[in-house]
Amino acid sequence: MTAPPVSRTTFNVGKVAVAGIVTVALALAGFSWLWNWQRTQRTRELYGGEGADLVRRAEQVEGLVLSGFYDGEPVDQIAVGPHAFEVVGRKDLSKTKGLVHARTALLDDHSYDWDDLTTGDCQPRMEYAVRFSRGGEQMTLVFDFGCRGVWIVESQQHATLAPKIAAGWQSFLTRHMPAE
């Protein structure tokens, strides 16, 4: 008489390894999402959800060259606080190299000096604006390179940029938007 076949439980190491890799990948993806969400909280408060989405994904990005303070009635002007600036030049920046990184910088909390305690002794220098638009929505940012600020025209809110970000945007706009 022969012995009945022995039933063996097979342990498949490959399946366990794949399950482990998938688990680690999901955990890292969750951590990445949480990290990115957490580092954009204050900028989302500044721009609003729709405004932040425009900065990130607007199909049309237009650079504007501004003249000095102009309190008359020009054809095209942008109001920043109590002053108006005349738009004297325009350029489509939608496909400009470096725009993706410049947009990303505007949406990172570390790009701003949230606790700026300057005494107001800086000299404003607002030469450029950037308008993000999609469909009927738009948001216009005016850059103040004298005081490292950015103004949101539609809401008249202001924030102070970190020195490195202000210098980067100034370089980007000066390179792509020659003053007239």
Q: Supply the DSSP symbol for 162.
A: P
pLDDT category at 83 given cuts 50, 70, 90 is: confident
On whether residue 47 sits in a domain, the answer given is yes
Q: Measured in whole angstroms, how far is the alpha carbon of residue 141 from the centre of its chain?
A: 11
The whole-chain average pLDDT of the chain stands at 85
Single pTM value for the model = 0.76
CATH number at residue 103: 3.30.1490
CA distances to 7, 18, 110, 154 from 12, rounded to whole Å, are 16, 10, 47, 61
On whether residue 25 sits in a domain, the answer given is no
Nearest to 138 by CA among 60, 42, 63: 60
On whether residue 43 sits in a domain, the answer given is yes
152 or 2, which is more confident?
152
| Number of structural domains found in the chain | 1
Domain range for 167: 35-176
| Cα distance between the two ends of the chain | 103
On whether residue 20 sits in a domain, the answer given is no
On whether residue 79 sits in a domain, the answer given is yes
Q: DSSP assignment of 93-118, as one string?
A: -TT-TTHHHHHHHHT-GGGB-TT---
On whether residue 169 sits in a domain, the answer given is yes
On whether residue 157 sits in a domain, the answer given is yes
Q: For the segment 95-126, what is each residue's pLDDT rounded down to a tens digit?
A: 999 999 999 999 998 899 988 766 567 888 89
Q: For the segment 11-52, what is each residue's pLDDT rounded down to a tens digit?
A: 788 888 888 999 999 888 888 877 766 666 788 889 998 999
On whether residue 99 sits in a domain, the answer given is yes
